[in-house]
Structure 1
């Protein structure tokens, strides 16, 4: 894995604070445990990468931004603590854009992270490095976080599997009512195995769900007969859904239908007022947090972020309350619609990966359009995954989103595994030779 990272990183820039010597020492300790029949479990000795906003003791947490003070973390955050207890080996942290505010990779702290399938394209965000690392073969297990699509969008762009668990399923610091932590892997079974560990309790997260020992790895083939699957192809965005994305997602639905599932096309259920309220709430939240930075820190923010703050108009408390009320209306409507189905199928993103340097697919429209399919399930707290369902003519992966009812994380994994078995043979992963060649070109 270390050799792979060394070979690919000059082109990808997916890592931060790599810890090669410590990782090799931990690997030797794990080897000793296995030889002595005293392993800590199935993740003992398995290399992992962890998104840099998930604190690991002794390593600064820049949050993707040069504006952050580089103070070493005093403790492991819950996901990192659980992985260490299970014997997993942290090889490197992975990159993210400034404060995780983009569904793309531009960062004022990290070099620009690129997509292994096409170095001119973005890996998505904000779990940019995690998804790029998974696609490039930087080990089997990767941890990301998701507040509006930050696991699923990069997973979709990079052709890997990403699970946004139910809100509160994985303890996290600092807890927030939209944020979740989850796995990014090449295969569904690896994500399920990670969830056995990541979902263990941690009392520091006072907003987490009560722990349940769910059958995470019971991924026996799902009988699709009788399942009702909603199919959403238009989420009401100003950004049109790419025809190749529509074709790939529709094709996946037809394959599932041929196995006995009932496919029910549904119209967008999120009204413009709800979407605008969500956008206002998120922008005000970001602006308020970033304005607390010292003036010299604000000057170090990525220019994109500084411009967004400057454009954000001041609103009064009543307007903020109305925006929050719209977010709650979106939550209510999403859970109501989803309750009529076993799962909801949709694209992950309106289009495939866009240019690496851009901060969103269409700067004239803005980032909210990039997250129209994903953010509703953050608001509702429902589990949702991204899994590849096809490729564009240019060879870019296309993600299928599978969203489940509230708390049905295992169901999402099982249907994802069923699709993994049914889908056409995926394309070969980008090799280090391909990545090197593209970088030289």
Structure 2
């Protein structure tokens, strides 16, 4: 870089460096910009760029981090045009650097190497202006989805959330239309969707070793991939408008999976069900049996404050393509009655989760999960007197032992042995701690 450029760096937190008529960079004193070049309205880094904390850098032209480039962002980086990474993009673990993708027109995010960002903010001028992702972005902190859908599916791009990474502001205005990878066992809402619709799925891994999972939502008919005529005999109808693809890229544990139900994309038959004859379950294409199988499940009560209406939850037996199905309801002849609401305030009314008749089946196991798939309670030999769930965590997963669980909807799994056969009941449990 010409030394005249260095004369423009002031001795304060933010300075101005002019990169030709097409762009301006605002960088801090500690930023190393000595290897940047302005090539035909494109900025190329072939050396090292470091943005220190409390420092701003804004790029108003296409930016490429070359194979030899090393870009470290511990401050605030604003990208107003296209971004390409062929080198190393990273951050310092104990810093809180943020990368803002802000544009007034379509932005292209590409490159053969992963852009490792602490925080990523997607905020275009309008929700109608998308981001085109053909590369990979990995978020270690938080990803804020404000305006603009991240289009990754048609380009082979992927958004990766490292263990304990989060996201905020997801809605129909901004989500990922394509693959999302989640590393680790932490509970997570996958911010996926398609077209104009945010259609998340939820899950967490129940084991102690971290797994890696990838999820994508499709607003398409899965019959085009695997015939809906090839199915378990009790399956009456399979959702022909949408499906999710969930793969386990690392790990061996099964997950509790929740799929969102939205009347704008989910067929009306799955909302208006004759519950005396049918029930809504999750179905999965099973390549071993070459048919759609019943993964069972339970439908939540309506959820307030969400762009979708309900959740459908089950514990899965495998991975691949998932959607919803109507099945003939199994008739349960044993005399069990599940009371699916508790208010554990020690007033003597509904203080515990009652399963009437469970005492006659002592060979049983009860598991309770929150809506993100985190196990909050499990026990064997559940009964109606001294071994009952009373609204407190038993200390597994990420919920501290003895903590009173917050008000909300939870999912239970009851496995029990009648002496003749093993059976399972699943459903939702509402806890009111207000």
TM-score normalised to structure 2 length = 0.27
Q: Decide which structure has greater strand share.
A: 2
Higher RCO (CA < 8 A, seq sep 6+): 1
TM-score normalised to structure 1 length = 0.26
